[in-house]
């Protein structure tokens, strides 16, 4: 009777543990440093490309000003990341997360290109708010905790206040556009 | 007798007076250096903030901003009366302060600071 109870408890525990590990693996991708470096470069390049599209399409001075800031800052982050991987002799590696970022960016770019005038401005800024929120989440919960190299971790930590400033700036532009 | 005493009293007053003038003059000379020499105040731009965000200075003091971030920043008067132009990492911008002002970074609109002239 007692043995049966223990076996049953143990079985439940093992199942619980196993499913939680599986769940964890599904929700949180496990990345190596070369993969993290790739995600960092791709995520920044995507925002530079959105900004270039905005400079090309928008006449709104607030949107254009914001887009210029995105080009300057995200290019500066890429430059730092490239300098670091070069110094460390790391080759950035494609992975599920970088691929999914690129795929989502493709879809978003199509939607942005279909919008004209004020609709474009709104779509661009709305996406910037959402995109920065998503990237901040990924950097905080995946990229920083999983970085093995201290300098890579430090660079990602330095990027955090930049991304947060962008999010506030985007939200300001968003509320201005709605008026 | 009386005249002699009066004379010596006058002389004494004159000597003491001269000493006073001398002391006042040299005293002035010594303290003169500090109150009228402008002080340089450094504001560091780091991790997307002006540090310190708000500073108090004396009229005529110099404020120097140093960008320690790898992203560009600028120092722009709140009504855009003047701007430093973009500062890259390591660049500095100085200004002689004649009156109080608020400023922001025109690249990152949420970054703000102020310089207050105290009397
Ligand atoms: Cu700035």
Query: Tokens 């973009």 — which residue?
Result: B86
Closest Cβ opposite residue B71 in set A65, A68, A76: A76
Co-location of B25 and B46 in the same domain: no
Task: Over range A71-99, report the average pLDDT.
Answer: 97
Q: How confident is the model at residue A13 (pLDDT cuts 50, 70, 90)?
A: very low
To the nearest whole angstrom, how far is the Cα of A78 from the nearest Cα of chain B?
A: 11
Q: What is the pLDDT of residues A126-170, one digit of tens each?
A: 999 999 999 999 999 999 999 999 999 999 999 999 999 999 999
> A90: domain range?
31-178
Contact call for B108 and A172, based on CB within 8 A = no
DSSP B38: P
What does pTM read for this prediction? 0.79
Report pLDDT for A1: 44
Co-location of A18 and A35 in the same domain: no
Report pLDDT for A178: 80
- Opening angle at CA B104, ends B98 and B106, nearest 5: 125
Reference A128, options A161, A65, A173, A81; nearest CA is A173
Task: Over range B66-73, report the average pLDDT.
Answer: 98
Reference A173, options A108, A113, A129; nearest CA is A129
Interface pTM, i.e. ipTM: 0.80
> B45: domain range?
40-118
Q: Would an 8 Å CB–CB cutoff place B28 in contact with chain A? A: no
Q: In chain A, how many domains are there?
A: 2
Element (H, E) at B102: strand B101-104
């Amino acid at each position: 009777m007692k043995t049966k109870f223990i076996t049953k408890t143990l079985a439940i525990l093992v199942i619980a543990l196993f499913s939680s590990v599986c769940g964890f693996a599904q929700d949180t991708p496990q990345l190596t440093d070369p993969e993290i470096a790739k995600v960092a470069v791709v995520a920044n390049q995507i925002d530079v490309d959105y900004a270039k599209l905005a400079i090309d399409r928008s006449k709104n001075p607030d949107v254009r000003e914001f887009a210029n800031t995105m080009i300057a800052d995200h290019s500066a982050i890429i430059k730092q990341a490239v300098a670091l991987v070069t110094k460390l002799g790391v080759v950035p590696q494609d992975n599920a997360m970088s691929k999914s970022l690129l795929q989502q960016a493709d879809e978003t770019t199509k939607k942005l290109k279909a919008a004209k005038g004020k609709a474009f401005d709104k779509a661009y800024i709305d996406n910037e708010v959402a995109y920065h929120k998503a990237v901040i989440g990924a950097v905080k919960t995946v990229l920083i905790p999983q970085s093995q190299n201290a300098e890579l971790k430090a660079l990602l930590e330095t990027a955090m206040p930049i991304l947060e400033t962008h999010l506030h700036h985007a939200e300001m532009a968003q509320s201005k556009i709605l008026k | 007798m009386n005249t002699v005493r009066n004379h010596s009293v006058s002389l004494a007053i004159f000597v003491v007076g001269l000493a006073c003038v001398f002391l006042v003059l040299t005293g002035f000379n010594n303290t003169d250096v500090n109150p009228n020499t402008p002080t340089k105040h450094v504001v560091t731009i780091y991790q997307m903030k002006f540090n310190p965000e708000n500073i108090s200075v004396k009229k005529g003091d110099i404020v120097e901003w140093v960008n320690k971030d790898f992203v560009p920043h600028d120092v722009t008067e709140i009504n855009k009366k003047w701007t430093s132009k973009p500062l890259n990492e390591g660049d500095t911008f100085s200004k002689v302060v004649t009156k109080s002002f608020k400023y922001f970074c025109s690249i990152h609109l949420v970054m703000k600071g102020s310089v207050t002239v105290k009397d």
